[in-house]
Copies of this chain bind each other. A is one copy, B any other.
Amino acid sequence: MQTSEAHETRPTLAQVARAAGVSEITASRALRGGARVARDTLERVQEAARRLNYVPNRLAGALAGGQSRQVAVVLPSLSNSVFADVLKGLETRLEQAGHHLILGVSNYDPQREERLIAELLTWRPAGLVLAPANSTELTRQRLATADLPVAEIMDIDRPAIDLSVGLSHRGAGRAMAHYLLGRGYRRLAYLGHDITTDPRAVARRQGFEDGLAEAGVALEAALLMPGPSSVTLGSQGTARLLGGCPPGGLAVYCSNDDVAVGAFFHALSQGLSVPGDLALAGFNGLAIGQALPQPLTTIESRRERIGEHAAAGLLARMRGETVQPVDDVGFRLITGATA
């Protein structure tokens, strides 16, 4: 706790101020934009800071000023490139506004998510971004009283605590149903991954079935594979699905692009023609799907934009502006060659 005068110590604002011959507070103002500081004083201070190699201590700044310029982000996973994209969008916008990201990954575990939120809150972030795996009631309560802007991202189908940025997965499912029906498919199946962790996938399937129902069509088959979505899961699932449900004009709506790509690979290795024998549709619009020999029919989910919008919403809230609670970034159906 001693303030050694050895020059090893990182220079503090006080030292910069002394070097520039001004008071601490003037130095502080000069280094933060320079409002209400004479031009030459400003330059003198900046000069001194540069010379001493001054690195401000934002911990102290945040503590004194009561606002931290850090934004906490809790995501369920990073393996899924979807969240990496969102994170990218968030980082870009926030960094640009002088904020920094504290990251937590919940692994789709509500317990862990809850703990992470609580821990990240100890840093007194200026905002919070959540892609809820399955928000606990406790968490919702805590956040409601925590008095900081919260953006819940990915889907807008559920009621949000504060801000909600994403798209209607239900709507996306319906859109795909309409598209496939419009292309003349009447034999429809669903292939999904473990949905207990992925409420968005559930919503899409629901929307898909709704869309079919509107035309009086029912799913011919639905197969849920255990485990998180993956290409391998898609291949294996397709194999199983086709066991009880022969190809030949069958269209399979997959829970996402990874699964659909797997399905495509299975078709390939079995010599099934796509979409003749087996039509395929996914969700997300991942690059890999579009790079297949036949581009995948899917729905683009604009992940990076979700991140950017969430960041923008939080920043606006921090500035005290009122923001519309629901931000629908929409989606776009990509008419590929697989359905």
Contact = CB atoms under 8 A, between A and B. Distances in A.
A288 B291 contact: no
Task: Classify chain A: how many residues form its interface, as a range.
Answer: 35 or more
A91 B68 CA distance: 21
Contacts of A91: 78, 103-105
A193 interface: no
B70 A78 contact: no
Interface in A78-129: 78-79, 81, 84-85, 87-88, 91-92, 95, 100-105, 116, 118-124
A215 interface: no
Given A79-B88, A103-B91, A230-B291, A123 B70 contact: yes
Interface string A270-286: 00000000000000000
Interface string A38-67: 000000000000000101111110110000
Majority secondary structure of chain A interface residues (helix, strand, loop or mixed)? helix
Contacts of A142: 53
Nearest to A77: B88
A232 B295 CA distance: 11
Contacts of A268: 268, 293
A210 B281 CA distance: 45
